[in-house]
């Protein structure tokens, strides 16, 4: 019997941004996440989407990542926020323009509701851009609250914003 001292978590992230060199910022975020948080096993294509929520701003580039990490979920969120800060993220307007945004969409069947972290991401079933990128790398992952696969959620999503693969 094999004993494991540490459990690794299978986390699905969404990176995005609409300021500066969007593609370069996603690449830099991916590099920093791998340096500081674990191993990126899969990365989706990059998608361009009109802003969701606050719409009078530049289009976003988004990419979903599958991360294997030994960092517990709340600590992982703190590390990701630290990476955003290192990259120059300044929080002024909620859902406003940003150089980088790193969200945790899902971590296995983990459900959490704290000031630091809400899992699964509460807006995931509503956002076509997030579901599209996530479905590319984890179509059959099950949303622990909705009890549906990511592909099923994407097929049922009523968000009509265009999501275009770069």
- Give 39's strand partners: 68
Summarised one tens digit per residue, pLDDT across range 37-87 is 999 999 999 999 998 877 889 999 999 999 999 999 999 999 999 999 999
Q: Which long-range contacts (C-beta less than 8 Å, at least 24 apart) are formed by 2-8?
A: 6/70, 7/70, 8/38, 8/68, 8/69, 8/70
Taking residues 115-123, report their average pLDDT. Answer: 96
Q: Torsions phi, psi of 103, nearest 5?
A: -110, 145
pLDDT at 54: 78
Taking residues 154-158, report their average pLDDT. Answer: 97
100 CB-contact burial (10 Å; exposed 0-12 / middle 13-18 / buried 19+): buried
pTM confidence score? 0.93
Between 73-86 and 22-36, two packed helices, what is the crossing angle to 10 degrees? Answer: 140
Residue 157's pLDDT band (cuts 50, 70, 90): very high
Paired tokens of 36: 């500081």
pLDDT at 4: 54
CATH of domain 9-122: 3.30.70.560
Question: Who contacts 111 (Cβ-Cβ below 8 Å, separation ≥6)?
Answer: 119, 120, 144, 145
């Amino acid at each position: 019997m094999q004993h494991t001292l540490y459990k690794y978590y299978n986390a699905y992230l969404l990176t995005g941004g609409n300021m500066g060199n969007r593609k370069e910022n996603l690449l830099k975020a991916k590099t920093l996440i791998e340096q500081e948080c674990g191993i990126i096993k899969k990365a989706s294509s990059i998608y361009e989407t009109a802003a969701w929520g606050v719409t009078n701003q530049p289009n976003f580039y988004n990419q979903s990542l599958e991360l294997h990490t030994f960092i517990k979920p709340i600590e992982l969120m703190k590390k990701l926020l630290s990476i955003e800060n290192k990259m120059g993220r300044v929080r002024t307007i909620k859902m406003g323009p940003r150089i980088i945004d790193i969200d945790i969409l899902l971590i296995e069947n983990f459900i959490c509701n704290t000031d630091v972290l809400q899992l699964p991401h509460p807006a995931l079933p509503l956002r076509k851009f997030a579901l599209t990128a996530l479905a590319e790398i984890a179509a059959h992952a099950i949303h622990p609250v909705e009890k549906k696969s990511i592909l099923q959620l994407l097929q049922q999503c009523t968000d009509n914003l265009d999501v275009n693969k770069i």
